[in-house]
Structure 1
Amino acid sequence: MNKISENIKVIAFDADDTLWVNETYFRDAEHQFAKLLAKYETENKIDQEIFKTEVKNLKLYGYGVKGFILSMVECALELSNYQVNQKTIEAILNIGKQMLDEPIELLDGVEEVLQSLEGKYKLIVATKGDLLDQERKLEKSNLLSYFHHIEVMSDKKEKDYLKLIKHLDIHPSELLMIGNSLKSDVLPLIEIGASAIHVPFHTTWIHEEVTEEEKSQSDYKTVNNIKDILNF
């Protein structure tokens, strides 16, 4: 296990599936999408194709619901050989609007942790996704008052965290990241000399999964509940 630095000044929290439920809504949307296109393909095939389309489009749309909606429309056109009707396209758009309007369900222990850490460290949100959507979710969460700074990142690779650290005017050893994704919230931080704690969520997008070899190459702490980070 990597040792959490004693010099921590800033604690950064991922947002989706770390502070509140998110990925569950994507899984539900994919199921609804598959039902709409059931006459063209099996659900398994549709799931594979929407994933491929999403990943292909990341460089154009980035992360978030809006890019997902566009990818669903593109996927529907291709799977139906451009025979899909206007009502189905409208239904796909409505799936996306429903996702954007979902209530915020805070994960267990989140507010307790923020209350405990407030005033002892500078607390920030470091998340990726669509700026407007993430700002809306933070507003609806009633957590904004706990955070000194909100950073919506286009990606979460080492260079992106180094840019954040420079903006915060701190040394990597003074940053602790808390998040549910090993790929985005943990391994890049370990690589640049920061600290990270992994708080798994029961559902992970395939694109965020890492190999067993990648897991074994880095030392990091994992906790079952975000409240457990207070032990460190």
Structure 2
Amino acid sequence: MSATDLPGDRPFVLLATRAEDGPADEEYALFLRYTGLPPHRLRRVRLEREAMPALDLDEVSGVLVGGSPFNASDPLERKSAVQRRVEAEMAQLVAEVVARDAPFLGACYGVGTLGTHIAAPIDGTYAEPISVVEVALTPKGRADPLAEGLPDSFAAFVGHKEAISDLPASAVLLASSATCPVQMFRVGRNVYATQFHPELDVDGIVTRIHAYAGYGYFAPDELDLTLAAVRRAPVTAPSRMLRTFVERYAR
């Protein structure tokens, strides 16, 4: 199905929080590429620059959330005023999304936002360095519509300082890895979060490695090792999930 074949005309919304223009623009371009959406059907909101606009969930096809330098588990005193505002706005939106079971897919930062809403413990227990890991679908993951076309196990890009350490019973575990037990989960029928990045390709993650070299994801002398780590295996499967999300929910 091509972009012109998608039903309806209601846009999807990408909620972004990257302050640096290079990684922010590349993230948007990657979501456009792998969803197959034209720009007029993927509205980007840069929450680090502007307040959350009024979003009528009846007037959009679905909500996507990109990655973020923000960590939900950071102590309050370490959070900037922008981060606190974004978290409050995201909390309000996610509460409405879950209550209405509206289409939602949060990549990486989606775990922090959706996980916080369902009172999941989020901490550094299962942090993963920037790398490629093997992600395995659970039996419920293999049966989930969003995993259509995915192999039972696939390589994916990760890089995060926090993760869910124990998924509450209110959520359905869809995928795990050896180093992070909650790689993907669902709440209700239509609300999803992934710890891995389905939107990334190797060029995109290399951009982020350089942009966030001083953010504590790796030591100053580990740049070359980190670049090698993301090239150790081809990553092709996860992006299919974005196209499936769009095909399923476009209206």
Q: Same fold (TM over 0.5)?
A: no
Find the structure with the greater CA-based Rg: 1
Which structure shows the bigger proportion of residues in strand conformation? Answer: 2
Per the normalisation by structure 1, the TM-score is 0.34
Which of the pair is proportionally richer in helix? Answer: 1
Higher relative contact order (CA 8 A, sep 6+): 1
